[in-house]
Structure 1
Amino acid sequence: MKKKINDESYLTLDENAQYFECGYSCDNGLFLKIGDNRFFITDSRYTLEAEQEAIETRIVESSDLFRTAADIINKNSVKDIVYDPNQITISAFERLKSHLDSKKELKGSPNFHRFKRIIKTESEIKLIQKSQKLNKEAYKNFAKYLNECKIHLSEQDLYYFSQQFLTHNGKYDLSFKPILGINANAAKPHALPSKKDKIKYGDLLLFDAGIKYQRYCSDRTRTAFFDKSGIVFKKCQNFKDKDLQKIYDIVLCAQEKTIKLLRSGMMGKEIDGIARGVIEKSGYGKYFVHSTGHGIGLDIHELPFISQKSETVIEDGMVFSIEPGIYIPNFYGVRIEDLVVVKNGRAEVI
């Protein structure tokens, strides 16, 4: 499944791709690979740090990244340079093109670097596992805080305090801004926190969050019931509302069945079909409004996508989420998410 680009020449502006290639990145950098030669082009603000951090890569200082990249390309015998058209603006493309010799060609290949990273190494898998472990610890500490807090906090307050636990008081970065919804707000898959909605006993709380460990992302979602005995972000939940309990159990069944049945060799859409089939059979198909999962690594959303349209063939070493959901507008939403790695043809929960 990995695109065979190891012997090709390519450039990237994406920071995570830069980091993957040489162990360093910055917000004004261009990584260029020509055969066995590797260049990191950046301005004088970053060259010293780049020289200290980048691995097996020549650092080139420049005030015009594209012109310098073109000069290097022109001096080499390479004819084609691969780039990701999703990363580069038209004006930047035209500027780069204008400095290239007429015999040199820029070959657009969308997401080529994500294809390169689609199968994780054992060391990458361990970093994602560590990231998810720290994420789970943050969930426990956040739950403890909620259970000890005597004030009924708003979603906006919860959103603020959750980040302290997720980052372990600033030690780690977030994979993404956490998603947090009480009751009806949980019916919005990517809800924004509300000032007026405050959590109280008997409420549903959906919490979707992740952190980064050595730049590798984690991601997890739990939907929990908050009562006087406290909130626990576990899969076993008991709601007083029978309809809500039914919906929760359907989502849980869809998630666990998908994890149990997915195999290497399946396409992403086949795996999506397992979860979607459970929910559709239960009569809630129209309320499952997103895909079943996404890849994760240096980016929070990577390949493969586990969606209705994905024809990506799943292989050992791929890491992705399984996160079905049911969202009833104006009432509540339920989503349960875990990360899995495919090993020996089957899914293992991280």
Structure 2
Amino acid sequence: MNYILKDENAVYYECGFSCDNELLIALGDEKYFLTDARYTTEAKEQIRDAEVIETRNLYKTAREIIRKSGVKRVYFDPKEFSCADFSELSKFRIDWRKRANLSWKKRLIKTEEEIALIKRSVELNAEAFDIFAKKLQECEGWSEKRLHFEAIAHLSRFGEFDLSFDPIFAINENAAKPHALPGEKRLQKGDLILFDAGIKYKRYCSDRTRTACFGENIHFGKEQTFSNPKIQRAYDLVKKAQERAIEAARSGMKAKDLDKVAREIIDKSEFKGTFVHSLGHGVGLDIHEMPFINAKNEQILEDGMVFTIEPGIYIPGEFGIRIEDMVVLRNGRAEVL
């Protein structure tokens, strides 16, 4: 298949290097990496299985390469190219075929090497959670904004690692917003904390969420005790929903059926309707990629897929709870990474 890529992670997957101004063209067995003079030297040092071509005009050079090749059809992912980009590219009139999620579909089943990299990312992230929990013991009275800053510093090991995404640190009612922004609320003993974060290891992402009760012995383990009975009931239910979903996950089942396992547990309780997002998403070079574990996805789950399982309960004005881990399907069942 002949295709052209622009997304950095899609390009990296193909040739081992990417930058913010690039195109990768694959024509049969030949691949071409196009970039400008700022990146040529590094590209030549790191790229595998592709010819590096320096150019001041990516799309003009891409058109010339495709014209010279004589191919009649090239696939592209419409999510990667703006209207302006495609207008430039398609000045050379051949059969341009849309193929949504072209790279994600190629990356859907992870290799053992990729799984090992993701597992290491998960391990480093878990270690960072423990380090940050110790730091929190001295942070009573600090604002969410200050704690968000501290989380970034400790997760990245003060610059050693990139982060998978901007971490979420939310207290009490702010945690009822699944992707809460940090505010001025200050941390006090007995507060509920929702902490969602991930780091990158050799570009592969991790993603983890814990909900905890703040006190002298704050930790991000799954066994948590809250003084508020309603919060405790909700927490125990989310924990049960996650455990059941992990236990139920099987190769060969539909993604929507796995979502249903966790959702039914919550919807049959007093907290019906408070699980407002999907159960999970794939993780790899992108923090959100296929497979998407939601109530409508007919995708069949297979060995080698890596994804999150993260049920939650969110009650606006009161609290939010989420517990998230990453799993890989192996030998037909889910293995927690």
The two structures share one fold, judged by TM-score above 0.5: yes
The aligned residue for residue 301 of structure 2 is: 314
The aligned residue for residue 188 of structure 2 is: 200
Cα RMSD of the aligned pairs, angstroms, is 0.9
Distance 1:283 1:291 in 2: 19
Select which of 134, 157, 163 maps to 2:124. Answer: 134
Select which of 164, 167, 188 maps to 1:178. Answer: 167
Select which of 21, 24, 27 maps to 1:34. Answer: 27
Which amino acid in 2 is paired with 1:165? H
**Paired positions, count:** 337
State how 1:177-326 maps to structure 2 within 5 Å. Answer: 177-195=166-184, 197-227=185-215, 229-326=216-313
Select which of 4, 13, 17 maps to 1:24. Answer: 17
Which amino acid in 1 is paired with 2:48? I
1:150 Cα offset (Å): 5.5
Is structure 2 residue 336 aligned with structure 1 residue 346?
Answer: no
Equivalent position SS for 1:144: helix
Work out whether residues 140 and 187 of structure 2, in 8 Å CA contact, stay in contact via their aligned partners in 1: no
1:279 Cα offset (Å): 0.6
The aligned residue for residue 114 of structure 2 is: 124
The aligned residue for residue 85 of structure 2 is: 92
Is structure 2 residue 37 aligned with structure 1 residue 44?
Answer: yes
Distance 1:158 1:255 in 2: 27
Equivalent position SS for 1:249: helix
Equivalent position SS for 1:59: strand
Equivalent position SS for 1:305: strand
Work out whether residues 140 and 188 of structure 2, in 8 Å CA contact, stay in contact via their aligned partners in 1: no
Which consecutive residues of structure 2, in runs of 5 or more, have no partner in the other structure?
A: none
Which amino acid in 2 is paired with 1:342? L
1:79 Cα offset (Å): 1.5
Distance 1:61 1:38 in 2: 14
1:309 Cα offset (Å): 1.1
CA offsets 1:183-231 (integer angstroms, 9 cap, x no match): 0000000000012x0111010000000000000000000000112x321
**Structure 1 segments of 4 or more deviating over 3 A?**
none
Work out whether residues 170 and 180 of structure 2, in 8 Å CA contact, stay in contact via their aligned partners in 1: yes
The aligned residue for residue 5 of structure 1 is: none
Distance 2:335 2:113 in 1: 16
Query: In 2 relative to 1, CA 150–157 (structure 1 residues): closer, same or farther, beyond 3 Å?
Result: closer
Which amino acid in 1 is paired with 2:118? I
Equivalent position SS for 1:285: coil
Distance 1:275 1:131 in 2: 26
Which amino acid in 2 is paired with 1:169? F
Equivalent position SS for 1:347: strand
CA offsets 1:81-111 (integer angstroms, 9 cap, x no match): 111101101111111111x2x4x21111111
Work out whether residues 209 and 324 of structure 2, in 8 Å CA contact, stay in contact via their aligned partners in 1: yes
Work out whether residues 75 and 98 of structure 2, in 8 Å CA contact, stay in contact via their aligned partners in 1: yes
CA offsets 1:101-142 (integer angstroms, 9 cap, x no match): x4x211111111100000000000000000010000100000
1:151 Cα offset (Å): 4.4
Distance 1:260 1:127 in 2: 24
Query: Structure 1 length as normaliser, TM-score?
Result: 0.95
Which consecutive residues of structure 1, in runs of 5 or more, have no partner in the other structure?
A: 1-7
CA offsets 1:142-181 (integer angstroms, 9 cap, x no match): 000111x164211001100011110011100000000111
Distance 1:97 1:281 in 2: 53
Identity score, percent: 50
Query: Structure 2 length as normaliser, TM-score?
Result: 0.99
Is structure 2 residue 66 aligned with structure 1 residue 73?
Answer: yes
